[in-house]
A and B are shown apart, each in its own frame.
Chain A
Amino acid sequence: MELMSLTALELGKKIKGGEVTAIDAVRDALSAIEAKEETLHSYITVDREGALKKAEKTQRGIEAGELTGPLAGVPAAVKDNICTEGLRTTCASKILCNFVPTYTAEAVLNLEKAGVVVLGKTNMDEFAMGSTTETSAFGLTRNPWNPEHVPGGSSGGSCGAVAAGECSFALGSDTGGSIRQPSAFCGVTGLKPTYGTVSRYGLIAYGSSLDQIGPVARDVADCAAILETIASYDRKDSTSVNRAGVSLWGEEGSSGGTGADGYDFTSALTEDVKGLRVGIPRDYLGEGLDKEVERAVFKAAKLLENRGALVETFDLSLVSYAIPAYYVIASAEASSNLARFDGVKYGYRAEEYEGLHNMYKKSRSQGFGPEVKRRIMLGSFVLSSGYYDAYYLKALKTKALIKKAFDRAFAAYDVILAPAAPTTAPRIGESLTDPLKMYLGDIYTISVNLAGLPGISVPCGLDSRGLPIGLQILGDCFQEKKMLRAAYALEKAQAAEGETADAQLENSISPDKPRKDFRMQSSRKCFQYMGLGRRDAVLE
């Protein structure tokens, strides 16, 4: 389990240096899974044999000098809505309980090319619809920090697995905050790239115009390195953007956009934030925002300011329109995207039925859970003849206005700093009783998807209950590098601060109460503390 406390880059370095092998790394990950899964349930499917076999092959590749990348031999988990050839991919839904894809998603192929070993598929809210990982048909995932709490969602399995050391890093997907919010709840670092940066080919669609795959990791450097690996211009995804700046059909007309800024995300990992303009939206503060979260965000802002960043608050506007616009657009797309799950070609089919329409009805009624049904119905309604203009079209216009509001903001600021969620992780069962309240919890994350922007969630402390607090740093489209630079500088500042705090902590901690007063310094530190206390929590 030792190796799983390292960052992915540290582990990659050790493997490359011959200190340990890819097989050692996978074994460590598997034994962590063995020890913790019964409680946490971060995974839906663990591919023990496949991972070990792959690790052996990878190790040979490393030794032969064929695999030289920084992540070669590192074991990772993949969210269960990302297709993996021959490895069951369920979207945490009964309707895909037996679905084994015939192909592998482009992002995973990119990982495999870099020598990353896939351990298995992580739990999530059914079809990524939810903010708690409680809507999974395979049972909920628990937060490693406190199993009475949810890990957030929908990438709760990926974030929980990273936090608990059940993998070195994971892939998640983010449609309305599904990487950033659970990363915050689990005290890990998660990045949602600019729309079009990572191929969606093989990502089972929820809201096609909003979905992006992104990394969940131990720190900012890992996130940058993983993004560098998975990002690519993919001709199989028409919404994929060639960040090297060439369009799909060359000079002859266009289909798809172009963006500059390249793919060398790790080049942005410098601590220099002097003169970096940081804006905090006033609209995100105040009502609904937990005071402890607010304090933690401002404390982080102060750390950046101390390093020369220019921090101020501003009015972003339109924030209250983001949630209705998001739920209209995402549900509309989902109602159509999920139509293919009908029992005809793959997946679950009702056992007894009479005729085609009855088969459709029964398979879908039995195969989908309540939250998915709710969104399919909502989406079908807003697209219905006579309602389209009032709902869907209006939501699209709102989306455009929100993008404009961000354009104005990014004319004044290099990055935006904001809380990732209004609170820390709620207790299990708390959210599902009131879906509307759960939807409102997405308030800080969803506008980012509507505007197509990149965002990174970085841990920034613990609340009084010992649960992690996360903040987000948002960049303008294709400005991941500025965002990464700010996040990296913040992380370094937290670590520097933490070193003094660590010393204080060491003096104050008594051996019989290891977790009580602990304060978090960085996501990595956080993980180490958590690893220390986890067993007790499980035994309780």
Chain B
Amino acid sequence: MSKQYETVIGLEVHVELATKTKIFCGCSTAFGGEPNAHTCPVCTGMPGSLPVLNKKVVEYAVAVGLATNCEITRFCKFDRKNYFYPDNPQNYQISQLYLPICRNGGIEIETVAGKKTVGIHEIHMEEDAGKLVHDEWDDCSLVDYNRSGVPLIEIVSEPDMRSAEEVIAYLDKLRLIIQYLGASDCKLQEGSMRADVNLSVREAGAEKFGTRTEMKNLNSFKAIARAIEGERARQIELLEEGKAVVQETRRWDDNKEYSYAMRSKEDAQDYRYFPEPDLPPVVIGEEWLAKIKSRQPELRTEKLARYKKEFDIPEYDARILTESKHMADLFEAATAVCGKPKKVSNWLMVETMRLLKEAEMEPEDISFSPENLAKLISLTDAGTINSTVAKEVFEHIFREDTDPEKYVEEKGLKTVHDEGALRTVIQKVMEENPQSVEDYRNGKEKALGFLVGQTMKAMKGKANPGLVNQILREALKA
């Protein structure tokens, strides 16, 4: 490859909003349930039914728009996107084309290449479709409208990204913002966040964009990164061979690591968009906007700065803690109880992360209470238990949210501070290990560690290690 190529990427990200009810009717958005259990005349497209906009959807969309520095469209409208498919009961989707709720925003991302801003073209509100079930029947497909009418926002970026790293950084930042807002849980695997990648390549330095393709079916950050690499290589190969890139929609198969053409621009549908006559324009007044603004929670960037200042913890710690809203909340709550931010942070960053990794869990899945973590820290600080015991107790807290005070009491794990008892045990350990005693006396400092270990073992780990050390040294000198 002689020429240098630049990849140009824009994203369309669909996010399922965390409302209790659907966007245009009162049906539950709860996941699961018998097929068509969460349906009514509106979300099954029964004749004569009419949509009524869920106010919370507007508030979430505005909140996301504000957090991504968008202009809020104060007079916005819904439009109908017309296309036939059985998962879409009305054969049109209520969406926004002409006056989307948010426009002209952008967020700052950071990669090894440095900081840059990725522009957000628009954010619009729309309804999700139902689900077709093909598998179990030979002669027909069935349709489940439980997801029909679940609220979505679509966040359309500018073609500002140039690499898979930038795309991941952008998605990660979006995910964090939206999770912090509580507007969605943004789980790619479960489909509550979906990203379509628009990608083109051009010779380095070229001004004009190349022909782009749109890639769908990307359900993890890893798949997105692989798909970008794959598509970049495919397009460059075409150009190198003197062939043209065809504007088309492609479906990524992450197992085969290859994308397949779904439909080309020629057979792209004409959606015949027009203003939705069943919904009046949404007017976002000054007062309402102010109310939504006042409810905006602290976002990650602000939280990061505050943690460094307020809790005096290193940048590194603050980053890991704020990587998940849930983790950050836990940190603050536990710190509020025990007043030891650095210690809370250590437990979360080291032991918690280790156990999460072992159990293949996400920080959002942490289920223990901040009170129990705070209690554990107090027990350790007071010398009631030593650090070895503390780690053991923490595993129970992590798994079952055990109350550490009760647990330590019940299992008799309190550190022994009784010197007399300790001296007896040490005497016994020395008698049983004469070689080590001699080694130490001959200047082998290492032998002390062995003897401390044997003593701790004999004490079932409950001894105060400092005290053991001190008494053992005295005894060996004698």
Contacts and interface: CB of A to CB of B under 8 A. Distances in A.
Interface of B: 41, 44-53, 55, 58, 80, 82, 84, 86, 89-92, 143, 270, 272-274, 277-285, 287-288, 291
A345 B282 contact: no
A102 B55 contact: no
B91 A202 contact: no
Q: From B44, B45, B52, name the one whose CB has the most chain A CB atoms within 10 angstroms.
A: B52
A114 B270 CA distance: 47
B88 to A, nearest CB: 9
Contacts of A503: none
A414 B212 CA distance: 60
B84 A254 contact: no
Contacts of A242: none
Contact of B45 (A99, A203, A340): A340
Contact of B50 (A200, A209, A344): A200
Interface string A379-406: 0100111001000100000000000000
Q: From B46, B47, B82, B90, name the one whose CB has the most chain A CB atoms within 10 angstroms.
A: B47
Contacts of B51: 238
Given A238-B280, A345-B89, A336 B48 contact: no
Interface stretch (A245-253, A270-278, A428-436, A464-472): A245-253
Contact of A252 (B52, B143, B288): B288
Given A252-B288, A383-B274, A384-B270, A101 B91 contact: no
Contacts of B92: 336, 339
Given A255-B53, A383-B274, A101 B279 contact: no
B282 A255 contact: yes
A340 B91 contact: yes
A405 B280 CA distance: 23
B82 A236 contact: no
Contacts of B47: 83, 89, 91, 96, 99, 101, 204-205, 340-341, 346
Contacts of A253: 58, 282-285, 287-288
Given A205-B48, A384-B270, 17 more contacts: A82-B48, A96-B47, A200-B50, A204-B48, A205-B278, A239-B277, A252-B291, A255-B283, A340-B90, A344-B86, A345-B46, A346-B46, A346-B47, A356-B86, A383-B272, A385-B270, A388-B273
28 contacts: A89-B47, A101-B46, A105-B48, A200-B48, A201-B50, A205-B47, A205-B278, A209-B277, A236-B50, A238-B51, A239-B277, A249-B55, A251-B287, A253-B58, A253-B287, A255-B53, A255-B279, A257-B280, A332-B274, A336-B92, A336-B272, A339-B91, A341-B47, A342-B84, A345-B46, A345-B89, A383-B274, A388-B272
A373 interface: no
B46 A102 contact: yes
A238 B53 contact: yes
Interface in A225-260: 235-239, 249, 251-257
Contacts, number: 121
A203 B287 CA distance: 35
A208 interface: yes
A202 B42 CA distance: 10
A91 B143 CA distance: 25
Nearest to B87: A344
A360 interface: yes
A252 B282 CA distance: 11
Contacts of A480: none
Interface string A41-70: 000000000000000000000000000000
Interface in A275-333: 332-333
B274 A237 contact: no
A234 to B, nearest CB: 9
Contact of B274 (A201, A203, A238, A388): A388
Nearest to A83: B48
A252 B80 CA distance: 26
Contacts of B86: 342, 344, 356
B283 A384 contact: no
Contact of B52 (A236, A332, A344, A345): A236
Contact of A238 (B46, B143, B278): B278
A235 B42 CA distance: 13
Contact of B84 (A82, A102, A238, A339): A339
Nearest to B141: A356
Q: From B41, B50, B291, name the one whose CB has the most chain A CB atoms within 10 angstroms.
A: B50
B90 to A, nearest CB: 5
Interface in A68-96: 82-83, 89, 91, 96
Given A238-B50, A336-B82, A392-B274, A254 B285 contact: yes
B136 to A, nearest CB: 18
Given A238-B280, A344-B143, A202 B82 contact: no
Nearest to A96: B47
Contacts of A102: 41, 46
B80 A336 contact: yes
Which 4 pairs across A and B sit closest by C-beta, in order of nearness?
A339-B91, A383-B272, A208-B277, A209-B277
A449 B44 CA distance: 29
Given A89-B47, A202-B48, A238-B51, A339 B82 contact: yes
Given A208-B277, A238-B52, A380 B272 contact: yes
A235 B287 CA distance: 23
B250 to A, nearest CB: 22
A254 B274 contact: no
B48 A201 contact: yes
A207 B277 CA distance: 9
A340 B82 contact: no
Q: From B48, B86, B287, name the one whose CB has the most chain A CB atoms within 10 angstroms.
A: B48
Contacts of B143: 344
A284 to B, nearest CB: 27
A253 B283 CA distance: 6
Q: From B49, B82, B143, name the one whose CB has the most chain A CB atoms within 10 angstroms.
A: B49
A344 B86 CA distance: 7
Contacts of B273: 383, 388
B270 A254 contact: no
Contacts of B89: 340, 344-345
Contacts of A392: 274
Nearest to B272: A383
A208 B89 CA distance: 18
B52 A235 contact: yes
Nearest to B289: A253
B48 A254 contact: no
A345 B277 contact: no
Contacts of B49: 201-202
Nearest to A344: B86
A376 B49 CA distance: 20
B277 A203 contact: no
B48 to A, nearest CB: 4
Contact of B285 (A99, A252, A257): A252
B45 A255 contact: no
A384 B48 contact: no
A96 B52 CA distance: 25
A385 B272 contact: yes
A380 B274 CA distance: 11
A288 to B, nearest CB: 30
A335 B272 CA distance: 10
A350 B44 CA distance: 21
